[in-house]
Structure formats: C-alpha cells, structure tokens
Amino acid sequence: MASPSESADLPLPPAPLQPSPPPARSGAELFVPAGKWLTDSFNLISHLTLSLDKDAVIIGSMDSKCRPVIDPLPSFGRGRELPGARHKALIFGSNLTDVVITGANGTIDGQGAIWWERFQNHTLDYTSPHLVEMMYSTEIVISNLTFVNSPFWAIHPVHSR
C-alpha cells in the first residue's frame, strides 16, 4: 500500500493494495485507514473483508500501465469501446466466495477523467476499466462506501451473487 498523501496527484509510484491470505477456517481483513492511498489494480481473495475508514480514500492510478490488460468477457466477446481485451478493474476478483467491501463511508476514486478523455479523443488502447468487478463469485456484499470518478461502470458483478 502506498503511504497517505494530501493530493490525488501523488508523485509517488503506485503500489497495489494486497490482502494477506487468510489463515485456515477464518477470514482476512484489509483495513484502509484514513488518508489518501494511491494504488494500481489489485485482486481480492475469498473470505476477505475490505474495510475503509471514514476518511479513507483509495485512489486508482491514472497510469494505464497500472491497470493490466485482461481478456474480454466471454459473454461480450469484445470490450465496450474497442474489440478485444480490456483494462482490469481497480478492485478485481474472480471465482471468489465470501467477500465484503465496506466501510464507514470511505471513498473509492477511479480518477476516471483521464479515461473518459482518452475515450472521447479515440486514444484508448483497450476498453476502460471498472472500479470494482467481481466475476463468477458468490456471497458478495458491498455497502457503506462512496464510489466516484469511475472510468467505466462503478460496480460490475459478472455472473455473481
């Protein structure tokens, strides 16, 4: 996790937030304390609670290299804006069980303006990323957070419940 900052234009290189694997028969928690935390795309794990403090802000990097390119969704066969692959969501999970994303009304900020500008200028290399995407997952709960400045859909559950 990057260190807290006072500005969304952080000069620090982003570092992905990463939960620790859960011990046997219990869950893991990734707690994000108050402050602004710049990160690139990161994966969730099963049996995890991602919890944001009241004044915590997770800020997605504006550098497209920090959003890996992944295959298009099988049901779509192509990206929304371009054929083929797409950029990975800021917070991503696939084939997960028992994931909670919550907080005391913390914020997840995708810094989407740069992505929308690329879309409008036809300079996107791949389809823009979502803020949160869960694929083929069960027992997912998302609550008590504010999602802002998404480059695409804010929350995108794909064949999940």
CA–CA separation, 38 and 52 (whole Å): 14
d(CA 119, CA 31): 33
Please check whether residue 105 is in contact with residue 146, taking contact to mean a CB–CB distance below 8 angstroms: yes
Q: What's the predicted TM-score (pTM) here?
A: 0.82
Give the C-alpha separation, 34 to 6, whole Å.
11
pLDDT in the model for residue 96: 96
Q: Rounded to an integer, what distance in angstroms lies between the CA atom of residue 123 and that of residue 28?
A: 39
Tens digit of each residue's pLDDT, the chain (161 residues): 444 444 444 434 455 565 555 444 468 899 999 999 999 999 999 999 999 999 999 999 998 888 899 888 776 655 666 777 889 999 999 999 999 999 999 999 999 999 999 999 999 888 889 999 999 999 999 999 999 999 998 998 888 88
The tokens describing 3, both together, are 């260190």
Confidence at residue 15, expressed as pLDDT on a 0 to 100 scale: 56
